[in-house]
Amino acid sequence: MKFGILVNEGPYNHQASDTAYQFTKAALEKGHEIFRVFFYNDGVNNGTRFGVPPQDDRNITKLWSELAEKHNLDLVVCVAAAQRRGILDADEAKRHGKDGDNIAPGFRISGLGQLIEAGIQADRLVVFGD
């Protein structure tokens, strides 16, 4: 089965991001395909490389990045939601006159069309968070 994943919550304020990660990892291990993981609303906070959790806590951004590298996942952060929360890639930072970017490895910034495409291309779109 081909899944699209939508993550609407940040990495440390709700369980949704952890559950989405575990679901995605399990689906891949069972041989399913993940068409795309789309981060929206506060979910875009999963895509910042500036988060520094305590050493004895999980680093959900790093886990997403590693999973993306291992399985060639498409991790897409909504551009509008990201800009509102100060998450920028190099192109967006330059376009807005900012002196740096903070997008984590394996993530990319794009628009809501990527979510629509995931809903069309996937057999199921699974939503995590409100």
Structural contact between residues 115 and 6, judged by C-beta atoms closer than 8 angstroms: yes
Q: Which fold has domain 2-51+79-128?
A: Hypothetical Protein Ychn; Chain: A, (3.40.1260)
* Whole-number average pLDDT of the chain: 96
All structural domains of the chain with their residue ranges: 2-51+79-128
Catalytic residue from among 78, 88, 103, 118: 78
- Give the predicted TM-score (pTM) of the model: 0.95
State the Cα–Cα distance between residues 45 and 122, nearest whole angstrom. Answer: 24
What per-residue confidence (pLDDT) applies to 55? 87
State the Cα–Cα distance between residues 105 and 83, nearest whole angstrom. Answer: 17
Cα radius of gyration (the chain): 14
Catalytic annotation on 78?
A: yes
State the Cα–Cα distance between residues 68 and 62, nearest whole angstrom. Answer: 10
pLDDT in tens, 24-81: 999 999 999 999 999 999 999 999 999 888 888 889 999 999 999 999 999 999 999 9
- Per-residue confidence at 103, pLDDT binned at 50, 70, 90? very high
